Amino acid sequence: MPRYEQAYLDVWRRATLNSPQVRTACVATKRSMIQSRRLQFAYGAGQRLVFPDVAVAQGSVLLLSGPSGSGKSTWLALLAALVQPQQGSLTVAGQDLGTLARRSADAWRARQIGFLPQKLHLSAALTVQHNLEVAFWAAGMPVDAQRVQQVLAQLGVADLAQRLPSQLSGGQAQRVALARAVLMQPRLILADEPTASLDDAAAQDAVQLLVQAAVQHGATLVIATHDARVAQALASCMEEPPILLHLAPALPPKGSGTAQGSAWA
């Protein structure tokens, strides 16, 4: 068993010692959100990434880990329909991404995917409110100012609406970025290293907020992280354990296509 997974499991066992039912997953009873089979992707003639099969139910949390070059970014990009699967199948929120035309992929992403990037990427040119409104513009939809207010209020930052990102603290900025991620009521939220560069207390808050927001919107949460604190924080705020997906480094170009890494629920 690779060291990463072991580390996660150790953290998880320690954190959930008092709840014996944590290891029992109930994937089968819920609707499937992510389902992949024999998914493969290669950039040009480079290394071929072969992803383990996964089945993730709606409302679950998936922790994605893996060393550099193992294809974490690519897997996220595949989920967000930024790139198309080259082999195998990937179904997200009921949509077979292998058959989604490039043109419709943008509209699909706008509706289904909430994204919390590591560097937040709040536009310095826009106020908090406009940073959220721009999501409606990006989706090609009329601006719903009421929805913007609602989401900001849910995350406790309604009073910051007129500020510029430069006038926000790190925690406030994190909340605004999260507000933007859940604005369109996505069914899948992708969080990329949400705790990097946060101290322990802030990391704990960030994860809790993320889970809260996902639960509130009934969204499935995928967190790509190296940070063991994420698992800890999850354990303290969730009854069910997260699904762990650890990706192993890619095989050379002529790899045999054996499944690497492992996924289990």
Question: In the complex, which residues of this chain contact another protein (CB under 8 A)?
Answer: 66-74, 76-77, 80, 82-83, 103, 106-111, 113, 115, 117-119, 121, 123-126, 130, 133-140, 142-143, 180, 192-193, 196, 224-226, 247
CA distances from 227 to 188, 198, 203, 218 (A): 21, 11, 10, 25
Can you list the positions of beta strands (E) in 26-86?
Answer: 32-42, 48-50, 54-57, 61-65
Query: Which CB sits closer to another protein, 22 or 126?
Result: 126
Query: Which CB sits closer to another protein, 222 or 243?
Result: 222
Return the SS3 of 212: helix
Query: Which CB sits closer to another protein, 127 or 149?
Result: 127
The whole-angstrom separation of Cα 244 and Cα 247 is 10
Most distant CA atoms of the chain, gap in Å = 56
Residue 36 CB, nearest approach to another protein (Å)? 17
Helix (H), strand (E) at residue 115: strand 113-116
Say if residue 169 is exposed, middle or buried (CB neighbours under 10 Å; 0-12, 13-18, 19+).
exposed
Residue 61 CB, nearest approach to another protein (Å)? 17
The whole-angstrom separation of Cα 186 and Cα 110 is 8
The whole-angstrom separation of Cα 114 and Cα 200 is 25
Query: Which CB sits closer to another protein, 12 or 75?
Result: 75
Query: Which CB sits closer to another protein, 68 or 258?
Result: 68
Residue 126 CB, nearest approach to another protein (Å)? 6
Residue 181 CB, nearest approach to another protein (Å)? 9
Query: Which CB sits closer to another protein, 79 or 234?
Result: 79
